[in-house]
Amino acid sequence: MESSSQPLLSVQGVHKQYPSPAGDLHVLQGVSFTLNEGEFLAVVGESGSGKSTLLQLLGTLDNADQGEVWLDGRSLFGLSQNQQALIRNESIGFVYQAHHLIPELTALENVMLPLHVRGVSEQAATERAIDLLDRMKLSDRIHHVPAKLSGGEAQRVAVARALAGKPRLLLADEPTGNLDESTAQNVFDALQSLCKEENAAVLMVTHSSALAASCDRTLRLVSGSFL
């Protein structure tokens, strides 16, 4: 069921192309959609359809050739690189197929890391990280380094880390792609539950039709355009 709240994210007429030996490769061609506060949106499509490129643009890691993206009514492509970095730090969380945890740090320290970058006090960062890990059912694993965690546990730590700074928008690129079906479902359920509690809007790229069916809405990207 779609959220009735006002759009948090608005994407209008986005185009992106890259040069190639055979000529310009048009990866995104006029993509437009909105995402509401607290909504969980799945984007599905074949490899090479432009899904990861779309996430890069929405996360301000790249700029479009044409079109516009607004987050909370603010144009993202009109910002300087420093301003975009600030938006990423304050308003956008990322979860990838690989957990990208720092191997030398414990689960607790990994979740605290983005809070340290923000200058949050040690006590406040610790309390926030413990709370998130508890809600991800990882209370007994907080002092384990990634090598001592299962794949599903490590990915749940990555979700907690992505949400530590209370982002308005979470971008998830195949967050369960490296997991078996049962573990993937458990991680997805935890991701969906925690994002709902935190009122974070989620755009999740996935190849799983089963997971997409559990989202509020699904968009299919084909050759750079939504059907």
Q: How far is CA 4 from CA 38, 72, 213, in A?
A: 10, 16, 19
Q: DSSP state, 6?
A: P
With beta carbons less than 8 A apart as the criterion, state whether 217 and 43 touch. Answer: no
Query: What domains appear along the chain, each with residue ranges and CATH number?
Result: 37-63+79-226 (3.40.50.300)
Q: What is the token pair recorded at 169?
A: 């928008």
Q: Write out 185-200 in H/E/C secondary structure.
A: HHHHHHHHHHHHHHCC
List the beta strands (DSSP E) in the chain. Answer: 7-18, 25-36, 40-44, 66-71, 74-75, 92-95, 169-173, 201-205, 217-222, 225-226
Q: Please tell me the pTM assigned to this model.
A: 0.92
Amino acid present at 172: A
The whole-angstrom separation of Cα 190 and Cα 139 is 14
Tens digit of pLDDT per residue, the chain (227 long)?
444 456 999 999 999 999 888 888 899 999 999 999 999 999 998 887 899 999 999 999 999 999 999 999 999 988 999 999 999 989 999 999 999 999 999 999 999 999 999 999 999 999 999 999 999 999 999 999 999 999 999 999 999 999 999 999 999 999 998 899 899 999 999 999 999 999 999 999 998 889 999 999 999 999 899 98
Cα angle at 45 between 43 and 47, to 5 degrees? 125
Residues 6+ apart with CB under 8 A from 87: 60, 71, 74, 76, 79
How far apart are alpha carbons 95 and 99 in whole angstroms?
A: 7
Q: Which two tokens stand for residue 175?
A: 């967050």
